[in-house]
Amino acid sequence: MKANNLQQESSRGVAIWLLVGVGMIMIQVLLGGITRLTGSGLSITEWKPILGTLPPMNEMDWLAAFEQYKQIGQFKHINFDFTLSDFKFIYFWEWFHRVWARLIGLVFIFPFIYFIWKKKINREMVIPMIILFLLGALQGALGWIMVKSGLNEEDISVSHIRLAIHFMAALGLLSYTLWFAFGLIIPETARIFNPAFRKNTILLLSLLVVQLIFGAFMAGLKAGSFAPTWPTINGQWWPVVPAKTESGFFLTDNPIIVQFIHRGLAYLISFLIFVWYLKTRKKTRFSVFNKYSVLPFVLVLIQVILGIFTVIYSDNTRSLLWLGVSHQFVAMLLLMSLVLMTYLVGGQKTQGS
């Protein structure tokens, strides 16, 4: 997609629509975080795309939904003392998470039809639009597959691997939508041609993707509660653990190792972003790029601080909820800032470059 062919006045409405979608996807990811932290993800045991939009409408319906929840392992092994009121609380968050996903679908579909009718979707937008809708459909399918995998009498939660796949698919959809919008609102003249900076920025973005995956592992394994200490991990700088765990590969299934890797990547990424920022300030004079190049550095510092407090207070349910959601929110902002930087340093070579 060549940005210079998309900088038309008629594209501005499409760009605003996409940015609204970006905001809604961010809210959806945060709702997913709240759903996980409140243990609400398995509260709705059925998938009804249309009828499921409405929650139970009377006491009989609520009791029937609660009875279905009682059949799965999460209730039998963890929430066996739940009252109907407790069930309604966790049901609300999973229901809200699903309804918001449906709302995102409507916000994408109806304006898309309108823009087609008004001929504001040009040929260069068609393939990106198709990819966008496919990514959205994939995300919905992955969400249900993840939930369905935990609806049995043995599991008390969904696999952290499936959680990571669902989470990263959402961030992929977020990043793609944002990139698409950048192509419509950022003029080509604002981008720079700098292969070295582009390579370094892509490296940072790649490391952040790995870090986000381990963040999802942290969440799925509740790894913070295994070592709620800082700067050491339960008093050790280098934790000693068995090469394998009973449940899988130690790099992805051992909570202590997952936390150790997550911490190490946080320090590494913070240092590399600091070095990257210093280099950008010395070697570039492009106003748009320089204006926003400080964002990754500021956000990664905030993210590290939030990460430390999230681990320290991982045993405090109320604190963990708000710290965890804040940590997730800043992670998205950091990702988006690096996506922006990658876009800005991906300009075409011109004479004199």
pLDDT at 25: 95
Residue 3: pLDDT band with limits 50, 70, 90: very low
Q: In the predicted model, what is the mean pLDDT of residues 294-304? A: 96
Query: How many CB atoms are located within 10 Å of the residue 281 CB?
Result: 13
pLDDT at 285: 62
Lowest average pLDDT, out of 64-68, 127-131, 338-342, goes to 127-131
Measure the CA–CA gap between 297 and 294, rounded to whole angstroms. Answer: 5
Q: In the predicted model, what is the mean pLDDT of residues 44-66? A: 84
Q: In the predicted model, what is the mean pLDDT of residues 341-349? A: 82
- DSSP assignment of 138-199 equals HHHHHHHHHHHHT-SSS-SS--HHHHHHHHHHHHHHHHHHHHHHHHHHS-GGG--B-HHHHH
Query: How many CB atoms are located within 10 Å of the residue 98 CB?
Result: 23
Measure the CA–CA gap between 281 and 55, rounded to whole angstroms. Answer: 53
Is the confidence at residue 327, as pLDDT, over 90? yes
Pairwise pLDDT comparison (286 vs 200), residue with the higher score: 200
pLDDT at 286: 64
What digits encode the pLDDT tens for the residues 258-272?
999 999 999 999 999
Lowest average pLDDT, out of 13-17, 153-157, 214-218, goes to 153-157
Q: In the predicted model, what is the mean pLDDT of residues 139-143? A: 85
Q: In the predicted model, what is the mean pLDDT of residues 302-329? A: 94
Average pLDDT, the chain: 87
Residue 349: pLDDT band with limits 50, 70, 90: low
Is the confidence at residue 9, as pLDDT, over 50? yes
Q: In the predicted model, what is the mean pLDDT of residues 182-189? A: 87
Residue 2: pLDDT band with limits 50, 70, 90: very low
Is the confidence at residue 304, as pLDDT, over 90? yes
Q: Which two tokens stand for residue 217?
A: 């592992």
pLDDT at 114: 85
What digits encode the pLDDT tens for the residues 203-239?
999 999 999 999 999 998 999 999 999 999 988 888 8
pLDDT at 275: 94
Measure the CA–CA gap between 134 and 274, rounded to whole angstroms. Answer: 36
Q: What is the DSSP letter of 70?
A: T
Is the confidence at residue 55, as pLDDT, over 80? yes
What digits encode the pLDDT tens for the residues 278-290?
988 776 666 778 8
Is the confidence at residue 164, as pLDDT, over 50? yes
Q: In the predicted model, what is the mean pLDDT of residues 46-53? A: 73
pLDDT at 4: 45
Collapse the DSSP code of 346 into the 3-class scheme (helix H, G, I; strand E, B; otherwise coil) and give the result. Answer: strand
Residue 142: pLDDT band with limits 50, 70, 90: confident
Is the confidence at residue 242, as pLDDT, over 60? no
Residue 353: pLDDT band with limits 50, 70, 90: very low
pLDDT at 10: 60
Question: C-alpha angle 321/323/326, rounded to 5°?
Answer: 105
Residue with tokens 């790995």, as numbered in its chain: 210
